[in-house]
Amino acid sequence: MKKVITYGTYDFLHHGHVRLLERAKALGDYLVVGVTADGFDHVRGKINVCQSLTERIEGVRATGLADNIIVEEYEGQKIDDIKRLEIDIFTVGSDWIGKFDYLKEYCEVVYLDRTEGISSSEIRSAKNPL
Ligand code: C2G
């Protein structure tokens, strides 16, 4: 069984996220999705996330694409998860090209094309126009 893992914040889950998850799932037989904890988003400079961790997890769960949902809480966790869950493929959108090449030591790394024209930032500013 081929196990795939991907990570994200998934704030106001949109079709760009869903397309990413669909293609991630299609890379293997079992998809693990890591949703970033609020504290971890702060650490990595993402300070404008609107939805709670519970709401963001619920969004991912509702897609029906994740076989397992975990929470990403600290820098370096990806390596721990890949080893612990015996992951074959790590995948993420092409906005991250090159950034996760260091994981090639532990599994295959695949960058999937990002969906143009949609982002959580755009949705956030549409909801809060000022
Ligand atoms: N994505 C996409 N197309 C978009 C928007 C996002 O394909 N229009 C992808 C991103 O490339 C990522 C996933 O959807 O693979 C989740 O995106 P975000 O919620 O923005 O999460 P991100 O900040 O990219 O976190 O450890 C966290 C990960 O490194 C990715």
Sign of the Cα torsion 7, 29, 62, 57 reads negative
Cα of 6 vs centre of ligand 1, distance in Å, is: 9
20-31 tens-digit pLDDT: 999 999 999 999
Q: In percent, how much of the chain has pLDDT > 70? A: 98
Position 64: which residue type?
A: G
Tens digit of pLDDT for each residue in 39-56? 999 888 988 999 999 999
Mean pLDDT (whole number) for 83-94? 98
Q: What is the pLDDT of residue 130?
A: 60
The token duo for 46 is 């993402």
- Point out the ligand 1 atom lying closest to the alpha carbon of residue 9: 19
CA distance 61 to 96: 23
Q: How far is the CA of 129 from the centre of ligand 1 (A)?
A: 23
pTM over 0.90: yes
Average pLDDT on 80-99 reads: 98
Q: Is 40 in the pocket of ligand 1 (CB under 6 A)?
A: no
